[in-house]
């Protein structure tokens, strides 16, 4: 009897190992949850929701969305970081997480996640009132130099816009009056009402008002002009060495197995060739730029270094 049991033990162990291996090979065998750390309907939610809607055909499983708003994203990111690192929970990674670390306003950092893949960027802009005194970033810079500390630039304290506003001051070589105007709608209202000269805001929020003439985008802070706004020059074209934008990507709890991350990244990459997905992203003026995990990790490291340096300069 003992001999029989001893002979059976390796077989049982082998069977368990094969079962575990088969389970791993079947990943994902159930839906992969996407935690978006903002309320539904915002820019981040719309972008990530489009990607999640179309990934099912490549992942073989649905990607249900859970919106967990609060503390500028910290509540949702905290829950995502604490989720089981089994490949069945992912979240959105973006610059705002790094800014929150730089300002010391959250106990969660982007280092608590394993990058999966980046899907694209939304350049930030310097924008003024349409039909006003400023036609270009050069005009705004000249006014700021002529009246140091008087030309106002709307941003939001503790947001990427504040950090970019500090960079704008640096490249134009003059102090500006940085106004903590809050969110995008409040910044836009302030400029349209003539209370502030210009604002920092993602380009996707401004296309309609720029096209109608209510606002004028003085410079897009990207590497090149945008296909959907070919009339708007970059800051670099105007002699100012500044690029700034928001990256949008997927991340998983830090110790998620690399094989699961690779599977997820492969599914994300296929969205680049999905005509329906790309058409929907185009409608919201989002330009696709896929980066696999290794490349995305390098991007995050570079953004982290720059943002932490600016944070120290700002006194955080």
Each domain of the chain, given as residue ranges in start order, spans: 31-122+245-313, 123-238
Instruction: Tell me the torsion sign for CA atoms 207, 208, 210, 211.
Output: positive
Listing DSSP states for 206-270 in one string gives THHHHHHTSEEEEEE-SSS-BTTBTTSPBTGGGT-----EEEEEEEEETT--HHHHHHHHHHHHH
At 90-118, the pLDDT tens digits run 999 999 999 999 999 878 899 999 999 99
**Predicted pLDDT at 82:** 96
At 40-69, the pLDDT tens digits run 998 889 999 999 999 999 999 999 999 999
Whether 254 contacts 113, CB under 8 Å:
yes
Is the preceding peptide bond at 28 cis, omega within 30 degrees of 0? yes
Q: Is the pLDDT of residue 132 over 50?
A: yes
Residue with tokens 């008002």: 209
Burial 177-198 (b: 16+ CB within 10 A, else e): ebbebbebeebbebbeeeebbb
CATH 3.40.50.11540 is the classification of domain 123-238: no
At 186-210, the pLDDT tens digits run 999 999 999 999 999 999 989 999 9
Whether 251 contacts 113, CB under 8 Å:
yes
Whether 100 contacts 113, CB under 8 Å:
no
Q: Is the pLDDT of residue 17 over 50?
A: no
CATH of domain 31-122+245-313: 3.40.190.150
CA 212 to chain centroid, in Å, comes to: 27
Residue with tokens 């003539």: 194
What is the value of pTM for the model shown? 0.86
Q: Phi and psi of 134, rounded to 5°?
A: -105, 120
């Amino acid at each position: 009897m003992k001999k029989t049991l001893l002979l059976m033990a390796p077989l049982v162990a082998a069977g368990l190992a094969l079962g575990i291996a088969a389970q791993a090979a079947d990943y994902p065998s159930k839906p992969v949850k996407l935690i978006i750390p903002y309320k539904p309907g915002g820019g981040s939610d719309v972008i990530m929701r489009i990607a999640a809607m179309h990934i099912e055909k490549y992942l073989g499983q649905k990607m249900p969305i859970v919106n967990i708003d609060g503390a500028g994203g910290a509540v949702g990111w905290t829950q995502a970081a604490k989720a089981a690192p089994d490949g069945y929970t992912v979240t959105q990674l973006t610059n705002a997480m790094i800014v929150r670390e730089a300002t010391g306003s959250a106990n969660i950092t982007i280092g608590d996640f394993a990058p999966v893949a980046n899907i694209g960027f939304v350049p930030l802009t310097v924008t003024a009132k349409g039909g006003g005194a400023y036609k270009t970033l050069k005009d705004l810079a000249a006014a700021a130099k002529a009246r140091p500390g008087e030309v106002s630039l709307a941003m939001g304290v503790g947001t990427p816009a504040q950090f970019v506003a500090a960079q704008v001051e640096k490249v134009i070589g003059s102090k500006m009056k940085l106004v903590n105007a809050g969110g995008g709608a409040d910044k836009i209202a302030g400029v349209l009402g003539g209370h502030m000269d210009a604002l920092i805001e993602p380009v996707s929020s401004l296309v309609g008002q720029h096209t109608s003439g209510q606002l004028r985008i003085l410079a897009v802070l990207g590497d090149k002009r945008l296909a959907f706004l070919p009339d708007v020059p970059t800051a670099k074209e105007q002699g100012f060495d500044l690029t700034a934008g928001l990256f949008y990507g997927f991340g998983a709890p830090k110790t998620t197995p690399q094989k699961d991350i690779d599977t997820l990244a492969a599914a994300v990459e296929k969205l680049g060739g999905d005509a329906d997905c790309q058409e929907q992203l185009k409608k919201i003026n989002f330009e696709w730029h896929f980066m696999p995990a290794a490349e995305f990790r390098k991007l995050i490291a570079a953004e982290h270094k720059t943002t932490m340096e600016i944070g120290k300069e700002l006194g955080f």
